[in-house]
Structure 1
Amino acid sequence: MTKMYNAQGKLSQSDVLTKYAPLVRRLGLQLVAKMPASVDLDDLIQAGMIGLMDAASRYKEDQGAQFETYASQRIRGAMLDELRANDWLPRSMRKTSREVESAVHKVEQSLGRSASETEIAEHMNMPLDEYQSMLQDLHGSQLIYYEDFDRSADDEPFLDRYCVDRSDPLSALLDDSLRGALIEAIDKLPEREKLLMSLYYERGLNLREIGAVMEVSESRVCQLHSQAVARLRTKLREQAWTSVEA
């Protein structure tokens, strides 16, 4: 194996970049595959390269761990920090999102089936076009927010109640139990919303492209996406998706 240490016993940054850049990309691909299509791989790789350089500057050959193992932890941590930093939505929009989710939950519990937009709008005492405008404003809403773990929020966040690994919420969100619960919840969506989520999260199409496939406007796709996200967040609450017993 080629030695990557300089005269001062430190790892050479140029050699580290050359040797471990593929590792950064591989970790980035593993992570982005579990994220919404809006997460940019290049941003994760850039953050991961910073994590790699940090690992190179801190690593000592005699500290016991292999460098690749040590660096992988630093790279992944830097990528998770990048995801945390980009998890934001104005508080007013979070409040609106919770109101929509609450309405969806109450109407669907009452009806025992997926609620239509008209039924949800009626429950919220607003015209359909006003409700659809609200969905439009929620464009960019995500299935999971880091603020879901914030105990200072108005009500107890559902993920905080059920997340096993509270030291690293995102790692817990990527586990098999959540993926299984999410697959089950998506399968119960109305057909159009199910198709939309498949095109967006599995096929990686943007809203304009999805609109072309579904033969609706981009703004209508945006509304349907926000509606689907509200339904899914409601279902995840109901399913208490980890193995923790309520």
Structure 2
Amino acid sequence: MYTATGRPDVNSLLKQYSPLVRRLAHQMIAKLPANVEIDDLIQVGMIGLTDALSRFDIGQGVMFETFATQRIRGAMLDELRGSDWMSRGNRKHQRDIEGAVHRLEQKLGRTPQESEIAKEMGITLLEYQDLLNRVRGTQLIYLEDMGGADGDNDYLDRHVAADTGGDPLARLNDHRMRQALVDAIKNLPEREQYVMSMYYEEDMNLKEIAAVLGVTESRVCQLHSQSIARLRAKLRTW
């Protein structure tokens, strides 16, 4: 697509390849925390596409879509690496909760109750529930999960940037991870299963879930945060 002067029509090309940006964003968002917005990834991806249009050289012998895919993914990954989804203090609180859950599961051989988790942490039930509200927005993946021991971003490179379609071992590991997550969700307390199902499968917001369960939005938030802590404690040993 070219203008009357024979130059590439950038606007037309952006429109033509915008579905590629959306497709890559949706592929990536599936392996990221729910609080990462798809629109943010698409916006950054469009910047990557614009960069690809300005840098592409047909003489390099590479198809434009291949070249653009690399630039779009690179822009999205750079944005993710430069962002943080939780404060350092709240991540520590969440790890403390996970640690208490894990210790109690090993000790009791069952899913611990809220009061037992609070006691294990040496705080009151009200203090524990307040902590759950403070770590609101916690997801299965933290920023530090995306960096190896030497500080690189190997999680992003392994699980987001790479296309595992041609790697049987990677596909097998991804399948096992998904199955482990499904099994862990099945072992959640019934009410927490309901919260996870309504939030992630039915795309209901906290207010809607609260109305269904007959509790406050704050309570739904607590149940969600606690569910994530239980799941992370399970998956940590996977």
TM-score when normalising by structure 1: 0.81
Q: Decide whether the 8 Å contact of 2:100 with 2:121 is kept in 1.
A: yes
Aligned to 1:189: 188
Aligned residue identity for 1:75: I
**C-alpha separation in 1, matches of 2:5 and 2:128:** 63
RMSD between aligned residues: 2.7
Aligned to 1:121: 118
**C-alpha separation in 2, matches of 1:129 and 1:152:** 38
Q: Decide whether the 8 Å contact of 1:6 with 1:12 is kept in 2.
A: no
Shift of 1:182: 1.7
Structure 1 stretch 136-145 or stretch 18-27: which is displaced more?
18-27
Q: Decide whether the 8 Å contact of 1:36 with 1:201 is kept in 2.
A: no
The number of residues matched between the two structures is 227
Structure 1 stretch 200-209 or stretch 115-124: which is displaced more?
200-209
**C-alpha separation in 1, matches of 2:3 and 2:31:** 33
Aligned residue identity for 1:74: R
Shift of 1:45: 1.0
Q: Decide whether the 8 Å contact of 1:4 with 1:16 is kept in 2.
A: no
Assess, with a 3 A threshold, how the Cα gap between structure 1 residues 205 and 33 changes in structure 2: closer, same or farther.
Answer: farther
Structure 1 stretch 78-87 or stretch 39-48: which is displaced more?
78-87
Shift of 1:76: 2.1
Assess, with a 3 A threshold, how the Cα gap between structure 1 residues 215 and 152 changes in structure 2: closer, same or farther.
Answer: farther
**C-alpha separation in 2, matches of 1:116 and 1:134:** 15
State the Cα deviation string for residues 176-219 of structure 1 (Å, max 9, x = none).
Answer: 34323222221221111112112222222221222122221110
Aligned to 2:78: 81
Shift of 1:172: 7.6
Structure 1 stretch 60-69 or stretch 112-121: which is displaced more?
60-69
Aligned to 1:151: 149
* Unaligned stretches of 5+ residues in structure 1: 154-159, 240-246
Shift of 1:80: 2.8
Aligned residue identity for 1:124: M
TM-score when normalising by structure 2: 0.84
1:69 paired with 2:69, answer no
Aligned to 2:214: 215
SS in 2 for 1:93: helix
Structural mapping, 1:215-234, within 5 Å: 215-234=214-233
Identity fraction in percent: 54
Aligned to 1:242: none
* Unaligned stretches of 5+ residues in structure 2: 165-173
Q: Considering fraction of residues, name the structure with more helix.
A: 2
Q: Decide whether the 8 Å contact of 2:148 with 2:155 is kept in 1.
A: no
